[in-house]
Amino acid sequence: MRRSRREAGEGQAGCLVGVIILLIAIFIAYKVVPVKVKSADLRQTVVDEAKSAGTHPDEVIRKQILARAQDDNLPVTEDNITIERTGNLIRVDVDYTVPIVFPGKTIQWHQHHHAENPIF
């Protein structure tokens, strides 16, 4: 039976490629996860404000959403917030784009949060 001998260092290239891919994945997660968490926080604020529409006028809802966006450093302005009341229903939409900067490229990540609730 013939045995093959490996030379020293053989097979290390695969390990190096794996480590590089792992480091790239960690870097991408480092850039994207905080934006995703902040976006989820703003979405929850939109839902909560739509639920309390019976006790808050539109301007209070708008100010609460803007305050949360400002706390989370999200690029939301008054023009990005749409509040519609029709009969006994409220619709709140927040539409904005978050730039995520990577070396050599900036990705524009579009976000849209929508909440629709009955007004009690």
User: Comparing 13 with 52, which gets the higher pLDDT?
Assistant: 52
Which pLDDT score is estimated for 8?
A: 54
Which pLDDT score is estimated for 10?
A: 55
Residue 10 lies in a domain: no
Report CA-CA distances (Å) from 109 to 15, 49, 73, 83: 33, 24, 14, 23
Residue 8 lies in a domain: no
Distance CA 27, CA 19 (A): 12
At 40-98, the pLDDT tens digits run 999 999 999 999 988 989 999 999 999 999 999 999 999 999 999 998 999 999 999 99
Residue 28 lies in domain? 16-118
Which pLDDT score is estimated for 5?
A: 58
Per-residue confidence at 12, pLDDT binned at 50, 70, 90? confident
Per-residue confidence at 14, pLDDT binned at 50, 70, 90? confident
Residue 55 lies in a domain: yes
The percent of the chain in helix, strand and coil, each rounded to the nearest 5, is 50, 30, 25
Question: In the chain, how many domains are there?
Answer: 1
Residue 65 lies in a domain: yes
Does the reported pTM lie above 0.85? no
12-51 helix and 58-71 helix, angle to the nearest 10 degrees: 160
Q: Tokens for 36?
A: 């995703």
Residue 3 lies in a domain: no
Plot region of 68 (φ>0 → left; ψ -120 to 50 → alpha; else → beta): alpha
Per-residue confidence at 7, pLDDT binned at 50, 70, 90? low
Residue 83 lies in a domain: yes
Residue 100 lies in a domain: yes
Residue 9 lies in a domain: no
